[in-house]
Structure 1
Amino acid sequence: MTQNVALDLGWAPSACTLPTAEQPLRVAEFDALFADAVQTVVRLAPTRLRLELVFGPEHAARAAELAARENGCCSFFTFTLTIADGGLALEVTVPAEHVEVLDALAERAGAAAPA
């Protein structure tokens, strides 16, 4: 897999406690979720992103598990998984000082979403 170094550096800020060797694996896990499940990417605010996912229990479980692990090493993230009216969405919020991390996440998710 070819990775964009600039995005990867924005993805893992100094506040991240995930061991450096594990960071590319986590990025790959997010990339796989984005490729398999993201339908649309909506930037609701500079610090808030909404990912509309393909509805299904497997995508909900995968997004929840990945969000929980990511929050364990980058506690500045707030993830909200919403399952309602036959839809599935993952909202990601960060404090203003980590907007560049959300920018990188939005760009990666957008690149994987259908045109």
Structure 2
Amino acid sequence: MKVPESSVIPIACTLGTGAYQERLVWIAELNRAALQSVRREGARLVLTYDPRAGARIREMVRREQECCAFLALELNEREKSLTLAITAPEAAHDALDALFNPFLTGSKSSGGCGCTTVTAQ
């Protein structure tokens, strides 16, 4: 069965190339300063940060919601840690590494740039 074109869901960052590269640098700097651990659970990436970076993490969440609305971002702030869970949609299953790599820049798990587009079928 063919899916009507109008129901194809684009999964892509809306930032232009220059803004995307700036965002990667900004996230890498944030990760070098405050990222404590990274855990991958299938289509979910869990990043734990030093809670003193709370304002910067909240700003990252705000920015990412603007350009990557297809990602579910859940911020959980505690006294001793701040956890950001990023969940990709089911349609992005084959591109999870590419989708999550930008959030790993500057971390020990960093793999580089991963800008991609995926469509649901």
Structures share fold, TM-score greater than 0.5: yes
Corresponding residue of 1:64: 58
Gaps of 5+ in 2: 1-9, 111-121
Corresponding residue of 1:24: 21
Q: CA deviation at 1:103?
A: 3.9
> Matches of 2:67 and 2:50 in 1, distance apart?
26
**AA partner of residue 44 (structure 2):** R
Identity %: 30
Give the alignment's Cα RMSD to 1 decimal.
Answer: 2.4
Say whether 1:87 aligns with 2:84: no
TM-score (norm 1): 0.72
Matches within 5 A, 1:35-114: 35-43=32-40, 45-56=41-52, 59-96=53-90, 97=92, 98-105=95-102, 107-108=104-105, 110-111=107-108
**AA partner of residue 31 (structure 2):** F
Conserved 8 A contact 1:53-1:89: yes
The structure where helix makes up a greater share of residues is 1
Distance 1:47 1:111, change over 3 A: same
Conserved 8 A contact 1:37-1:54: yes
Would you say how many aligned residue pairs link Structure 1 and Structure 2?
A: 98
Conserved 8 A contact 1:38-1:112: no
Distance 1:105 1:18, change over 3 A: closer
**AA partner of residue 42 (structure 2):** P
Gaps of 5+ in 1: 1-12
TM-score (norm 2): 0.69
**AA partner of residue 35 (structure 1):** R
SS of the aligned residue for 2:51 comes to coil
